[in-house]
Amino acid sequence: MLLLLLLVVGSCATAASAQNASFPDDFLFAVSTAAYQIEGAWDADGKGENIWDRMTHEHPDYVDDGSNGDVACDSYHKYEEDVEMIKSLGVDIYRFSISWARVLPLGDVSQVNPLGVEYYNKLIDLLIANRIEPMVTMYHYDLPQYLQDIGGWPNPVLADYFREYARFLFDTYGDRVKWWLTFNEPTSICMGYGQYRMKAPAVNAHGFGDYQAAHTMLRAHAMAYRVYDQQYRPTQGGQLSITLNSNFYQPATNSSEDIEAAERALQFNLGWFAHPIYTSDGDYPAVMKERIYNNSIKDGIWISRLPQFTAQEIADLKGSADYFSLNHYTTNLAEDGEQADQYPSHEWDTGVVTSCDPSWPNSSYNIMKVVPWGFRGLLKWVANEYDTKMGIFITENGFADTGEINDTGRQNYYTSYLREMLNAMYLDGVNVIGYTAWSLLDNYEWMRGYTLKFGLYHVDFNDPNRTRTPKASAAMFREIVATHTLPDSGAAMTSSHFA
């Protein structure tokens, strides 16, 4: 609360540039992708069906352009070319995800797909041969359809399935993979069970299914972490975390109600998953438990729609991450009030009306405005709210356009956001240890299909060969990585609210 008040008081401050525009020598740079978004080969070589295969085939009308990831960037067949591009950027790490259904078609170890296992072995070995560290996300939205058929993430038993899937990955790849992530953006995964047609599997169980899905994923994460910590870390020596995502929320006015609303929005989104892991108290944020319980009772439900952890589960979750993995793209204004299309729902329980300042620059995605100072604000909030002494790794940050090769918008986005990240590091003392650009190449953007482009490399989706072409931003990012220094361009876009 006090922090947000200070942010508001300083909201008209002049930009404060980092005294040093250089990154620490040991700072890590990375690029990222996700399996369903790039691999294609949706039914090749024994891969099982996943929830995105099922949904996009049965309901192409759910996707903006009616497309799917059946071929996508065809990285299943073109991974060697992808590794060459990664190498040319000079980054330290490549973050990618494993398709659960490609290695375990039924979702459990009763059936292992050797060709799928070999694909990731070849990718990992090629990365290491080129001195690129693999960072593996175990789950990036693509649940095997067999597991959805028994209820998907709202079914508590999926935590046990995930634990054994994680064990399989540690056994198979853990001798070479030292950076692990359990889930990517679990709040987004919950949309598949709470915000109809926002994510696969498009189950309309708002206000119930989303909270139960989150509960199962948190339990699954803790199980995977404890298995790794107790059985694999002594010999494999890696690190494991969970990728959380959040916009920053700036109070729309100086009123105490809006200041509280901005704090509440952060707690209901980032805090939903961060509070159980990164605080000494553990469990869900108090404001979530109170509001959801009160809304549930008011509706005549005898218990809260938010599930409860056991004492052991709270203990297992606390400290179950070796670094803080954070995705961030944009900022919203937050105002106290109700903004929800459905009731009951996560949005209704939050009680916050979000908006954007019309003066903020646009990307080609209307909900992703370019607000660099919000990046610094979020980093300060995270560092003040949670135990981040192990360091914050930015695992996604990027800009959407329509695929321009001379992508000045993306160049300005990266330089302005990186400059504000340096401000957070040098002026605010936030311990950021790495930065990941989303994305290596244009790809399938979920419900937006191929209408949005985030890549450093252009992909011609009309060409059966899926020809890749470097954009201007690729050359700029390569230079930043090589020099560990920001170019002067982009400084004019930086308008910090946190001097």
Please provide the CATH number assigned to the domain covering 2-493.
3.20.20.80
- Amino acid identity, position 396: E
Q: Average pLDDT of 82-103?
A: 98
CA separation for the pair 105, 42 (Å, rounded): 12
- Residue 185 among the catalytic residues: yes
**Cβ contacts of 124 within 8 Å, gap of 6 or more:** 134, 173, 176, 177
DSSP 242: E
Share of the chain above pLDDT 90, in %: 92
Among the listed residues 260, 313, 347, 396, the single catalytic one is: 396
Helix residue ranges per DSSP H, 105-232:
114-129, 145-148, 158-173, 186-194, 209-227
Q: Average pLDDT of 22-29?
A: 98
Residue closest to 180 by CA, chosen among 382, 327, 395, 385: 395
Is pLDDT at 196 greater than 80 in this prediction? no
pLDDT tens profile 402-444: 999 999 999 999 999 999 999 999 999 999 999 999 999 999 9
CA atoms within 13 A on the CB side of 211: 22
pLDDT at 51: 98
pLDDT at 291: 98
pLDDT at 378: 98
pLDDT tens profile 206-245: 999 999 999 999 999 999 999 999 999 999 999 999 999 9
Residue 499 Cα to chain centre, angstroms: 28
- Residue 39 among the catalytic residues: no
Among the listed residues 185, 263, 313, 420, the single catalytic one is: 185
CA separation for the pair 147, 51 (Å, rounded): 9
Is pLDDT at 391 greater than 70 in this prediction? yes
CA separation for the pair 183, 180 (Å, rounded): 10
Write the burial class of residue 411 (CB in 10 Å: 0-12 exposed, 13-18 middle, 19+ buried): buried
Residue 269: band (very low, low, confident or very high) from pLDDT cuts 50, 70, 90: very high
pLDDT at 100: 99
pLDDT tens profile 240-251: 999 999 999 999
Residue 50 Cα to chain centre, angstroms: 20
Residue closest to 419 by CA, chosen among 23, 26, 7: 23
* Domain ranges within the chain, ordered by starting residue: 2-493
Is pLDDT at 59 greater than 90 in this prediction? yes
Is pLDDT at 15 greater than 60 in this prediction? no
